[in-house]
Amino acid sequence: MFVVDAHLDLSMNAMEWNRDLRLPVSAINKREQGLADKPDRAKATVSLPELRKGNIGLVVATQIARFVAPGNNLPGWHSPQQAWAQTQGQVAWYKAMEAAGEMVQVNNLETLEDHVMLWNDGQPNEHKPIGYILSLEGADSIIDVSYLETAWRYGLRAVGPAHYGPGRYAQGTDATGFMGESGHALLREMERLNIILDATHLCDDSFWEALDHFNGHVWASHNNCRALVNHNRQYSDEQIKALISRGAVIGAALDAWMMVPNWVRGVSTPQGMNCNLEVAVNHIDHICQLAGNTLHVGMGTDLDGAFGREQCPYDLEDISDLQKFIALFEKRGYSHADIQNMMHGNWLRFLRKAWA
């Protein structure tokens, strides 16, 4: 089945993890044997060949670069200008992949329909480019709001105003507080340019403020349920219902600490915590029960988002295993139409409406 994955940090992996994503995952992991600079070395799950193998022909792919003010101990850049430059290097990598025929940017209705037709033509995937919709995870790198139109012109189509901690335009995971005027200005410009608001990572205060001040299209690219794992990174049932009322689609994340309660980073193991793909279905099913239908969930895996096989479902070897969800959904009694919705249809319907 054709699959859309609404959150992959491909350029971060290429530029900061120094992974040649044109290679199979096995080759990437072989080259990383013995490296210890990142906790997920030699445990990668994502590359372009594996996306093709899994019929995952369209992804939302990120730029990401955090600004950290003095006293902020999170990793990041010491000025917005440096963060902007980092994101421009990431764009350059996507453009290089386009030039090599490995990827193609999808940024409007025409390119969307052409790409979906290509990937559903019944021909083998080996030489098909992976379609990518460009998203910005955390808006710190937008030096000022005027830069947003520059980004839109090179293809940016979705923005999450915050990532982890305090941000320049909103407050993110593990932070508290509101967006303020700079955040409101960002939302107004996003609305003018028809840029999708990715509500992922917004803290509760900023989440509700964003929904109050933004009248455009909203999605949540990679979020799970607070009712199942009680952490501010997750969405409460009230927040999920608010997103449903806005026509949002919520992508299921496969980061183990978001899937099972009481995960301890660097200590817990997927097998030890019984973290498998069935657990992800629990989160998806919870959203479906709140919605009363299957129209507001999809894939948003975040695989290789600074973690690898040490922190994802134990029955997933690489991203092509997203196809295993089909049997798991069937086991829960979901119809073929329901499964199509969750694997690709909801994201495509959302984009067709947003870009009509």
| Contact (Cβ atoms closer than 8 angstroms) between residue 62 and residue 14 | no
CA atoms within 13 A on the CB side of 234: 24
Task: Please compute the mean of the pLDDT values over residues 325-350 and round it to a whole number.
Answer: 98
pLDDT of residue 190: 98
What pLDDT does 46 receive? Answer: 99
Q: Residue 297: what pLDDT? A: 98
* Per-residue CA distances from 168 to 81, 146, 186, 195, 206 (Å): 13, 15, 10, 18, 12
What average pLDDT does the segment 1-21 reach?
98
Residue 209 confidence class, pLDDT cut points 50, 70, 90: very high
Q: Which CATH architecture has domain 3-354?
A: Alpha-Beta Barrel (3.20)
Mean per-residue pLDDT of the chain: 98
The per-residue pLDDT for range 282-306, each reduced to its tens digit, is 999 999 999 999 999 999 999 999 9
Summarize the confidence of residues 267-277 as an average pLDDT: 98
Separation of alpha carbons 82 and 66, rounded Å: 9
The confidence band for 188, taking pLDDT boundaries of 50, 70 and 90, is very high
Residue by residue, DSSP assigns 266-293 as TT--TTTTT--HHHHHHHHHHHHHHHTS
308 CB-near residues (< 8 Å, 6+ apart): 39, 40, 41, 42, 43, 44, 45
Compute the average pLDDT of residues 305-332: 98
Name the residue type at position 50: E
**Which of 243, 72, 234 has its CA nearest to residue 168?**
72
* pTM above threshold 0.85: yes
pLDDT at 216: 98
What average pLDDT does this structure show over 298-324? Answer: 98
- pLDDT tens, residue by residue, 36-71: 999 999 999 999 999 999 999 999 999 999 999 999
- Half-sphere exposure of residue 195, counting CA atoms within 13 Å on the CB side? 30
Report the pLDDT averaged over residues 332-356.
98
pLDDT on residue 116: 98
Predicted confidence (pLDDT) per residue in 85-129, tens digit: 999 999 999 999 999 999 999 999 999 999 999 999 999 999 999
Domain boundaries, the chain: 3-354
Q: What is the mean pLDDT of residues 116-143?
A: 98
Distinct helix (H) and strand (E) counts, the chain: 14, 9
